[in-house]
């Protein structure tokens, strides 16, 4: 296996950018977008959930209270799975890179529900050599800690890691650690950025 890890985020890259938006709309269709987006993506409760500081049940109760929902956890799981789709180009690229002997990885601010339920549907975790999630680490990008764990779990130096995210703000501390980084804008540019890091695709 080549001593390079090609790593990227999940939402907006491995999974389509429309997937999470579709889930939010399906879960709370009658709630105005600004409130729905805040509760389900930007609130302190979601941050605590992504850091692993509150349980699924605690987060669901807070969401139910804020949005007036009555659905069960299993109904939420179903809506989540049904809303998501992978970016087939990125999936194929990841498979090709692995076939060529490169390590591939995920580093994501995420919550346990989403990872578990999407793995049930797509069985994607076994395809990656390294996966780092904020709820396991107790830190979120761009916090240095999550990238330090990425380096440790990869068994490589920072300079041997290539990381892409669709949010430039989440790359700052990775750069400070000397991880090679670039922002994901579209697939063709992503491929070229990977090639520019001396990766043969």
Out of 161-165, 167-171, 177-181, 196-200, pick the least confident. Answer: 196-200
User: What is the rounded average pLDDT of the residues 117-137?
Assistant: 96
Give tens-digit pLDDT for 52-106: 999 998 998 888 889 998 888 899 999 999 999 999 999 999 999 999 999 999 9
Q: What is the pLDDT confidence band of residue 195, given thresholds at 50, 70 and 90?
A: confident
CA gap 91, 77 in Å, rounded:
23
The pLDDT assigned to 71 comes to 84
CA gap 50, 113 in Å, rounded:
10
The average confidence (pLDDT) of the chain is 92
């Amino acid at each position: 296996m080549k001593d390079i890890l090609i790593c990227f985020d999940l939402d907006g890259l491995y999974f389509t950018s429309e997937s999470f938006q579709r889930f939010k709309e399906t879960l709370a269709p009658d709630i105005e977008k600004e409130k729905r987006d805040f509760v389900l993506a930007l609130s302190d409760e979601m941050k605590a959930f992504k850091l692993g500081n509150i349980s699924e049940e605690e987060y669901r109760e807070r969401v139910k209270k804020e949005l007036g929902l009555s659905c069960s956890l299993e109904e939420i799981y179903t809506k989540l799975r049904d809303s998501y789709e992978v970016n087939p180009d990125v999936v194929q690229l990841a498979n090709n890179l692995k076939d060529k002997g490169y390590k591939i990885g995920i580093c994501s601010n995420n919550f346990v529900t989403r990872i578990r339920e999407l793995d049930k549907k797509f069985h994607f975790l076994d395809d990656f050599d390294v996966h780092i999630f904020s709820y396991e680490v107790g830190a979120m990008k761009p916090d240095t800690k999550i990238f330090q764990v990425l380096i440790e779990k990869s068994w490589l130096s920072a300079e041997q890691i290539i990381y892409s995210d669709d949010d430039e703000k989440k790359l700052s501390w990775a750069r400070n650690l000397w991880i090679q980084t670039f922002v994901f804008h579209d697939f063709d540019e992503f491929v070229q950025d990977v090639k520019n890091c001396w990766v043969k695709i």
